[in-house]
Structure 1
Amino acid sequence: MDKPYVIGIAGSSGSGKTFFLKSFLNHFKDSDITLISQDDYYIPANTKTQEENRLYNFDLPTSIDRDAFYKDIKDLFDGKTIYKEEYTFNNPNIKPKMLEIIPAPILIVEGLFIFHYEEVNNLLDYRIFLDANEDVALERRLKRDLLERGYDHDDVMYKWINHVVPSYNTYLLPYKQITDKVIINNTDDPEVINSATDLISQDLRQKLNFV
């Protein structure tokens, strides 16, 4: 198999990455595109107590099994299928699924540190940066973590102030200027994201001679 065309997608927490990815993937057949997410490579922290988990910083490059993440990306380059248990953010109410990541001509690499990890950044052909104003991003983060991940309000705010914002400023924001496409997403109007993915997918189809 030829080397896939690799698109790196990163953004601040609450920037709308999940919706962006869903919209973008819908422009292609499953056999044409595949996704590998840094989130599924967190070093397990579910053995910690609730208080330890509150203090544990998941927003540092060292919280990810960086070697395994890079190895699996390279294995996809070599045409190998990856089997990986999804990460459920220590939510005991969610049973993790077994992910099957199948090689495809287009590979999406998604995660907070993909530009910071030099070995991963060097593999990317196109870089997309999603961003949102801090107040908008925080509101989205609160909704997601309270409803989907079972965190309490104080825990979310502690992590936002002490972990999320400092990590974004240190490990992601400095790379904004080197990306190919910056998308500012301060509205919940889906048309903003859908229009962006329409344009990017059209350009990509022409570049790769996709029918």
Structure 2
Amino acid sequence: MTRPLNKPYIIGVAGSSGSGKTEFLTSFSSNFNPGEIAVISQDDYYVRIQGLTKEENKLYNFDLPTAIDRQAFHQDIVSLINGKSITKEEYTFNNPNRESRTLNIEPAPILLIEGLFIYYFEEINELLDHRLFLHANNEIALERRIKRDAVERGYNKEDVTYKWHNHVVPAYEQYLEPYKAICNQIIENNSQKLTDIQQSAKDISSYLRQFFF
């Protein structure tokens, strides 16, 4: 496995909602030292929607490519590839109880790009050296989503279920699932034990470390 001189090795990570991406990314990154890996998330490039009521926020569809500032996302990825640091405000999904942070991302030998549309966005997909696909069965994924959104986004079960059937699943079927076949690795995450997804992250990161560090 080789890469052009000074070009980072670029990994894409995408998966269905509730597939365990957050835990995978946290575990994966923990296997590298500071300065060895940079992580950029599509979630921080949502077009800003201000002043939505609770009902409007329930109906607003975050699971469409048009909800993402696609140009800014791509430009920041290119900046990291070219060795430039970026500064970005964290997106909080209109949650008034959560204060956004300023994210400073420095270039690194390994660049990890995460997001629902990273394979659908051709200009980003073509930059990737390695593609990972996380998947969980529908019932398990929905249960995880309900728990997460109650804590992080202040949605009740009814709101989450509405979004799941009307936004999340249709978007997954149209913009992500068709790209499953092009991915280098598919990780099935139906276990309730965090140690399983943590082990998958450790195995992949250990493999990469053989070549770059």
Q: Aligning the two structures, in what range does the TM-score lie when normalised by the shorter sequence?
A: over 0.9
Does 1:136 pair with 2:140? Answer: yes
What pairs up with 1:192-211 in 2 under 5 angstroms? Answer: 192-208=196-212, 210=213
Q: Which residue identity is paired with 1:93?
A: N
Does 1:70 pair with 2:74? Answer: yes
How far the C-alpha of 1:49 sits from its partner, in A, is 2.5
- Name the structure 2 match of 1:27: 31
| TM, length-normalised to structure 1 | 0.96
1:68 is paired with a residue of what secondary structure?
helix
- Name the structure 2 match of 1:83: 87
2:50 is paired with a residue of what secondary structure?
coil
Structure 2 residue runs without a partner (length 5+): none
Answer whether contact 2:23 2:198 (CA < 8 A) is retained.
no
Question: Structure 1 stretches (4+) deviating beyond 4 angstroms?
Answer: none
Question: Which residue, out of 103, 111, 122, partners 1:118?
Answer: 122
Question: Which residue, out of 94, 97, 105, partners 1:93?
Answer: 97
How far the C-alpha of 1:50 sits from its partner, in A, is 2.4
Q: How many Å separate the matches in 1 of 2:127 and 2:160? A: 33
Q: How many Å separate the matches in 1 of 2:52 and 2:64? A: 17
Structure 1 residue runs without a partner (length 5+): none
Question: Which residue, out of 168, 171, 180, partners 1:167?
Answer: 171
RMSD after superposition:
1.1
Q: How many Å separate the matches in 2 of 1:126 and 1:37? A: 16
How far the C-alpha of 1:197 sits from its partner, in A, is 1.6
Q: Deviations over 1:105-140 (max 9, x none)?
A: 000000000000000000000000000000000000
When the two structures are aligned, how many residues end up with a matched partner? 209
Q: Which residue identity is paired with 2:27?
A: S
Percent same amino acid at aligned positions? Answer: 58
Q: How many Å separate the matches in 1 of 2:188 and 2:52? A: 36
